[in-house]
Amino acid sequence: MQNSCFRLVTGVLLATAGAVALPAMAADQAADKPAGVWDLTDLYPTPEAWTAARDHVAAEVPKIDAYRGKLGESAAQLRAAMDFITGLQKETARLGVYAGLKADEDMRDPTASERRQVQQQLGVELNRATSFLTPEILSLGNDRVLSYLAKDPGLGQYRFTIEEMLRQRPHTLGAEAEKVLSTSGLIGGAPGNIYNVLTNADIPWPTVKLSDGTEAKLDAAGYTKYRAVPNRDDRKRVFDAFFGTYKTYERTLGASLAGKVNSDLFYARSRNYPGTLAAALDPNGIPESVYHELLKEVNETLPTLQRYFKLRGRMLGVDQMHYYDIYPPMVKLEKTFTVDEGKRLTLEAVAPLGPDYVAKLREGFAARWMHAYPQTGKRSGAYMNGSAYDVHPYVLMNFTGDYESVSTIAHEWGHAMHSRLANAAQPYPDAGYTIFTAEIASVVNEVLLLENMLKEAKTDEERLYYLGTALENMRATYYRQAMFAEFELAIHEIVEKGGALSGERLTRLYGDLLKRYHGDAEGVLKIDDLYAVEWAYIPHFYRGYYVYQYATSMAAANQFADRILAHEPGAVDTYLGVLKAGGSKQPYQLVKDAGVDLASPAPYLSVAHRMNSIMDQMEAILAKQKG
């Protein structure tokens, strides 16, 4: 865990929100659809060219040491060091994009897997080699560093980076301590690695027989698929078997998550933070009040969430909702889409963002920047990788022809457009943006897509489907992620106060939250005690204080989208300005300057307002159908 304002050198994936990705389906024969397969030669013409570039960077990394102890000689010397290190970081990120994309094309390919591991090791070595940089810059004193910035225009692209280093002075250690912490990341990641091996390789997942005779294997992908089957008894059978298996490993998984929380506490105290929340938020300049305001407003609007569950029960014909009733669609849509239709619908939807945005998106759609179709061995789910600054973003999809696939195109290409705009407008050090702002671009596109689909809908059933899908997305991305965030805060505070965590205690804490959010005591939706072990199913808990950003991004996106759809003067330019700014400013302040203050109630209330508005529309349609 490195206290550095420089970019991560291992590449960044921006994935569709949710705890588990969609299963990859062996279909569509991507190799037979060259237009649906990305072209990685834009990164490196051949694997051999990648190896040569990697070897070059590996040979250059030791040369960083020549700058150690010399940063204070002059502004020119400081600029030379920053230029050299940044150049290596940029090329290492590009190496990471290629290695990651090649590995995800076919996860059975050992050569691709080894290539990714080699690149990750290079990233660790580069982080270690640059660990002296921040402590040495701080040792020069603020006055001298700021005078260098004023003297040398070439340092301008590093101004925000350096000012952030100065701001974080109280939490930066000496050079030797920073070197130790920079190499401790592999140890800090051990709990997550143990979790991944245990849940993906070692746990014997059960197989249950459904009422139609289907033998359903309930690993993570199988659970995602079968939890939405129409038969209620089958859904309960799926939930009981899946979470019953997690319950068997409750003690081991509890020890694993406790290890992660203790690791977070170690890093927080090592860097002189008052707690783990501050340690997670302060490096990006995010006030703790944002986190607390989110939880406060979510809890105050739980009646909106519970109204949704009541509507869901009504539409499913269920008198007493249970936890296994939250996934089946409220309305079925007997309609399929092609990738080209998904692109067309997305282009139409984002028209309010202006002709330049549409033209750039159309250009991306026309190029081979996306791996669109499922195929055997391919990574599941969907993501965007925009870390190749001098090239362009890449998008991985597993398009299956349903509306969710269309929505995922809009979502992931929202990320891609964010990267394109930021990379075009900012120098490399300021182009990379944080997760705090990343999801805003994707959610705005989803909101615009919904508006377009409602205009295209031919029947009330189709409108109900799109509206219901939007509701479920808001439940999963806003309320569910906020519940996760509340759980994370609670378990970290227990350890910070000297308490201990066990699997049993984690289940009890999570179960209390599940029941409160879902209105168990009020009879809205009943939570079976067994399902309270669901915390063990959420891999995001191994990325401390990460998931809250899905919820804050949705809140900000709703405010931006409301203004865009209302045609407020300047709304589009202001929103696009946020995307173009990339990481040139602290993300909270960047969004606040655009008129959305995530430390205030307004953005969160906009989510509840949108959900209530959607439910009003659905209930009006249902009333018309009944009458």
Instruction: Give CA angle at 563 (559, 566), nearest 5°.
Output: 135
Distance CA 215, CA 108 (A): 25
Beta bridge partners of 208: 216
Beta bridge partners of 396: 371, 383
Tell me if residue 404 is catalytic.
no
Q: Which helix (H) or strand (E) holds 469?
A: helix 460-474
DSSP 3-state of 597: coil
Instruction: Give CA angle at 494 (483, 179), nearest 5°.
Output: 95
Residue 548 identity: Y
Distance CA 416, CA 306 (A): 34
Q: Could you tell me whether strands 321-322 and 370-371 are parallel, antiparallel, or unpaired per DSSP bridges?
A: unpaired
Orientation angle between helical segments 339-349 and 435-456, nearest 10 degrees:
100
DSSP-derived secondary structure letter, 352: G
In the Cβ-directed half-sphere of 316, how many Cα atoms lie within 13 Å?
24
Q: How far is CA 488 from CA 97, 298, 301, 468, in A?
A: 30, 15, 20, 29
- Which residues, 6+ apart, have CB-to-CB distance to 397 below 8 Å? 370, 371, 372, 373, 382, 405, 408, 409, 412
Distance CA 483, CA 19 (A): 13
Contact 467, 454 (CB under 8 A): yes
Pick the closest to residue 432 from 9, 1, 16, 7 (CA basis).
7
Tokens encoding 364:
């991306």
Beta bridge partners of 385: 13, 394
Query: Which of 91, 164, 412, 439 is the catalytic position?
Result: 412
Distance CA 500, CA 52 (A): 49
In terms of residues, how long is the chain? 627
What are the residue numbers of the active site?
412
